[in-house]
């Protein structure tokens, strides 16, 4: 095991993967045919490319790091303590913040529309009627519970349960550790070479290529329903499981810093190929490609996704391994930011919609404004309160106020 301070880079990856969600959902307003009508502005090719690239790797990178840290916690504290901690920090926020988030999204919508008058508010409210859900961004069937962007918490719980069950079985049948050592050897071979993204991608390529329900432009889905989505379980489960196994050989992950330029260069090239093949116009249902085109696209997309992930992690290990107060603070705040950002993003989308500004200006305002509001609310309403104790695992002590320089010493 490497020194603990080297893991600051992985904490940064997890934080920035969540924070990229603010950019993703701000740019979503400019996607042609986006299936949430109120989340709509003038379509833009530039915004579509931003959305496509971020969505390509962001959540898989998050689940990779989540799997890594999950095993850290299990090994350090034991299974019972792990379950208790995850229930507190994942299950409770899912149940507690689900209704709050939905209310705040509505509040953000109303506050964004009111400056343009009641007529504009009513017009936007009528336009906000649900549209048919797109494959890969599907709404719950049959009027079920909509997890919205909190679906990732639900899938974390599923992955925790599945991993603990597999771990229990493996420990029971492999008491001498033969299977574990074999898995370590296989993983060491996979990770110690530029071929890592291709080998990791193979199972998912084999699964997605013949899957007619796969909407190629969307990549892996954002499953909003309580009924588990098999594509999400497999796609994100591979990332979570890989992160768990990499914790057994931390040096393999740290060694990504040697190849990060190669991975990111390959990621850009493969992404350009994918966009050239399928186009920049979002396609919300599939299939859209067939035969050789679909095979090449599937391989390029999944390998490109893993090039982004491994390059992202490698660059973080190379440049963000040293402790940084700013990165540490953002890592702490990222959970709150992601939970609540939909409300602020919709506020700015609705507020800026009537203005004929370029999409890039609107997205910049949305991201900067959302981050400012969310970081201020985190600092004053969350960080030093019971909410912060749930989200961050502990309540940060409030900074003590220093007495004025000229203050006289207290008597006695």
DSSP string, 11-78: HHHHHHHHHHHHHHHHHGGGSTT-SSTTS--S--HHHHHHHHHHHHHHHHHHHHHHHHHHHHHHHHH-
Question: What number is the average pLDDT over the span 175-184?
Answer: 90
Q: Name the average pLDDT for the chain.
A: 89
Task: Please say if the pLDDT value at position 307 is more than 70.
Answer: yes
Given pLDDT bands bounded at 50, 70 and 90, which one contains residue 296? Answer: very high
| pLDDT at res. 144 | 65
Distance from chain centroid for Cα 328: 18
pTM above 0.85, yes or no: yes
Task: Please say if the pLDDT value at position 358 is more than 70.
Answer: yes
Each domain of the chain, given as residue ranges in start order, spans 4-392
SS3 141: helix
pLDDT 10s digits, 53-86: 999 999 999 999 999 999 999 999 999 999 999 9
Task: Please say if the pLDDT value at position 410 is more than 50.
Answer: no
**Percent of the chain predicted with pLDDT > 70:** 91
209: burial class by Cβ within 10 Å (0-12, 13-18, 19+)?
middle
Given pLDDT bands bounded at 50, 70 and 90, which one contains residue 412? Answer: very low
Task: Go through 298-330 and write b for each residue having 16 or more CB atoms within 10 A of its CB, e for each that does not.
Answer: bbbbbbbbbbbbbbbbbbbbeebbeeeeebebb
Task: Please say if the pLDDT value at position 308 is more than 70.
Answer: yes
Task: Please say if the pLDDT value at position 256 is more than 50.
Answer: yes
**DSSP characters over 68-123:** HHHHHHHHHH-HHHHHHHHIIIIIHHHHHHHHHHHHHHHHHHHHHHGGG-HHHHHH
Top mean-pLDDT range of 37-41, 190-194, 366-370: 366-370
Least confident window among 105-109, 136-140, 184-188, 212-216? 136-140
Task: Please say if the pLDDT value at position 136 is more than 70.
Answer: no
Q: In terms of pLDDT, which residue wins out, 126 or 386?
A: 386
Task: Please say if the pLDDT value at position 103 is more than 70.
Answer: yes
Task: Please say if the pLDDT value at position 132 is more than 50.
Answer: no
| pLDDT at res. 270 | 98
């Amino acid at each position: 095991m490497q020194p603990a301070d080297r893991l600051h880079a992985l904490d940064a990856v997890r934080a920035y993967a969540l924070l990229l969600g603010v950019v993703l959902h701000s740019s979503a307003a400019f996607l042609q045919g986006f299936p949430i009508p109120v989340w709509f502005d003038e379509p833009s090719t530039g915004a579509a490319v931003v959305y496509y690239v971020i969505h390509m790797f962001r959540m898989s990178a998050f689940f990779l790091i989540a799997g890594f840290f999950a095993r850290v916690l299990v090994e350090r504290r034991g299974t019972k303590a792990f379950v208790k901690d995850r229930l507190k920090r994942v299950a409770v926020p899912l149940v507690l913040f689900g209704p709050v988030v939905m209310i705040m999204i509505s509040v953000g919508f109303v506050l964004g529309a009111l400056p343009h008058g009641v007529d504009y508010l009513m017009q936007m409210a009528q336009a906000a009627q649900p549209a048919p859900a797109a494959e890969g961004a599907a709404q719950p069937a049959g009027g079920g519970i909509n997890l919205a962007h909190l679906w990732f918490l639900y899938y974390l719980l599923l992955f925790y349960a599945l991993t603990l069950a597999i771990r229990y079985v493996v420990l029971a049948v492999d008491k001498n550790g033969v299977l574990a050592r074999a898995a370590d050897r296989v993983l060491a071979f996979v990770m110690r070479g530029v071929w890592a993204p291709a080998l990791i991608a193979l199972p998912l390529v084999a699964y997605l290529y013949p899957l007619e329900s796969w909407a190629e432009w969307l990549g892996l889905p954002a499953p909003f329903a309580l009924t588990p989505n098999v594509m999400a379980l497999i796609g994100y489960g591979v990332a979570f499981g890989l992160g768990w196994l990499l914790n057994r050989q931390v040096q393999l992950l740290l060694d990504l810093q040697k190849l990060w330029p190669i991975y990111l260069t390959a990621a850009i090239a493969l992404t350009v190929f994918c966009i050239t093949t399928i186009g920049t116009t979002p396609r919300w249902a599939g299939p859209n490609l067939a035969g050789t085109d679909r095979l090449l696209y599937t391989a390029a997309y999944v390998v490109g996704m893993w090039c982004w992930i491994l390059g992202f992690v490698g660059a973080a290990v190379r440049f963000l391994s040293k402790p940084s107060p700013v990165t540490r603070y953002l890592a702490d705040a990222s959970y709150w930011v992601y939970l609540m950002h939909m409300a602020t993003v919709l506020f700015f989308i609705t507020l800026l919609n009537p203005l004929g500004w370029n999409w890039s200006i609107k997205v910049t305002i949305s991201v900067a404004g959302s981050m400012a509001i969310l970081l201020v609310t985190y600092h004053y309403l969350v960080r030093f309160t019971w909410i912060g104790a749930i989200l961050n695992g502990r309540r940060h002590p409030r900074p003590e106020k220093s007495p004025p320089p000229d203050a006289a010493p207290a008597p006695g």
